[in-house]
Chains A and B, each alone.
Chain A
Amino acid sequence: MKFKALTAIAALMVAAPALTFADPDDDTLVIEGQEMVTKTDLPAHMEDANMDMIMSGWHFRSDETQALQMDDFDNPGMIFVDQALDNWESVEGSAGKSCASCHEGPESLAGVRATYPKWNEDAGEVRTIAMQVNSCRTENMGAEPYKYDSTQMAAMEALITLQSRGMPVDVAIDGPAAETWEKGQEIYYTRYGQLELSCASCHEENYGNMIRADHLSQGQINGFPTYRLKNAKLNTVHGRFKGCVRDTRAETFSPGSPEFVALELYVASRGNGLSVEGPSVRN
């Protein structure tokens, strides 16, 4: 009996160091020779947040998963970029146009991902990249819009994101976007669902800890769209939001809803200064 107790204690002591696994590491993310900013100072608006620095979710993943993102050939998200490139060239809709008819090469959209969601003066609203893509499709091409969080939309976002890879996230939160940003901030700190969790409960107060079997990151979205090993496809920001809110056992907002657009702007602004690194790879 005594022997068993001792064995149990020994087993506990061996297991103890494993509890710190969820901590972020200090590796450097270099993608195809380009070094990314994955840790930096808090943006000015986050001074009151209980954090030392902002960091990419890349730091919270295992070495093997991290390596997948460091080589474009190994990054499964790039397959979807290729698919989007085909869609970019293909003519759809009543106007007989493709993306390429107006924008030429996708590289003309360099910098877009870094500044979206962004205030659109003509529409009088804050728009995400997905909203802009669908506005182009319906108004300029006369084509059917993509479903907001569909595979095609995620792929097109990945193609557009890739053009800005390495640029610092820099979304505007002042001026006409301020109202939407404040709404997003309110949603971020509101507790939802039966579990009464806000975004901040996990991603501000408990990043670096485990939630059941998974690591909690800061919930940065600079790496979206994200290829997830668990579902083997690209995941959109709103798809991730929906999953998070669902996990609090709440009724979720819909992808593309004004609430999620506001939240996206706010969460993006929490990553101001980090490099755009999408399409990223996470588990």
Chain B
Amino acid sequence: MADGVRPRVKAPRSAEAGEVVTIKTLISHKMESGQRKNKDGSVIPRSIINRFTCEFNGTSVLDVKMEPAISTNPYFEFEATIPEAGDMKFTWYDDDGSVYEDTKTIKVG
């Protein structure tokens, strides 16, 4: 697991049924592209988050494939319709196999 990785999510605690809410997510990660070289001239191995998904009660909301040119601490902001109360699950997949998760419970009414 890369150092200092911490997922963060900002989502409303409650919403009206059918309301469109804004979700903000950020994960602190160095996102090493694999293109850079260190002082000895050898390549610094690639280490990025390569996929980010968001699910609401098991239904996929967002599934993003991420590439090496994405800068450090990737930030996603998106809108989602909340049909019912439930859990919004966020998952980040690291190149080294680590998986980082966060879940936010959203109430309706």
Which residues of A are interface residues toward B (Cβ below 8 A)?
73-74, 76, 79, 82-83, 86, 232
Contacts and interface: CB of A to CB of B under 8 A. Distances in A.
Given A73-B10, A73-B24, A83-B4, 9 more contacts: A73-B26, A74-B24, A79-B26, A79-B28, A79-B73, A82-B6, A82-B28, A83-B28, A232-B71
B4 A86 contact: yes
Which of the four size classes fits the interface of chain B? Answer: 10 to 19
Contacts of A83: 4, 28
B103 interface: no
Q: Is the interface of B mostly helix, strand, loop or mixed?
A: strand
16 contacts: A73-B8, A73-B10, A73-B24, A73-B26, A74-B24, A76-B73, A79-B26, A79-B28, A79-B73, A82-B6, A82-B28, A83-B4, A83-B28, A86-B4, A232-B71, A232-B72
A149 to B, nearest CB: 20
Contacts of B24: 73-74
Nearest to A72: B10
Nearest to A86: B4
Contacts of A76: 73
A73 B6 CA distance: 13
A73 B22 CA distance: 13
Residue in A79, A83, A232 with the greatest tally of chain B CB atoms within 10 Å: A79
Contacts of A82: 6, 28
Nearest to A73: B10
B26 to A, nearest CB: 7
Contacts of A73: 8, 10, 24, 26
Interface string B24-53: 101010000000000000000000000000
Interface string B1-14: 00010101010000
Nearest to B28: A79
Contacts of B6: 82
B78 to A, nearest CB: 14
A71 B49 CA distance: 25
Contacts of A74: 24
B5 to A, nearest CB: 11
B40 to A, nearest CB: 22
A216 B55 CA distance: 46
A232 B10 CA distance: 22
A76 B74 CA distance: 11
A73 B24 CA distance: 8
Contacts of A86: 4
A83 B72 CA distance: 15
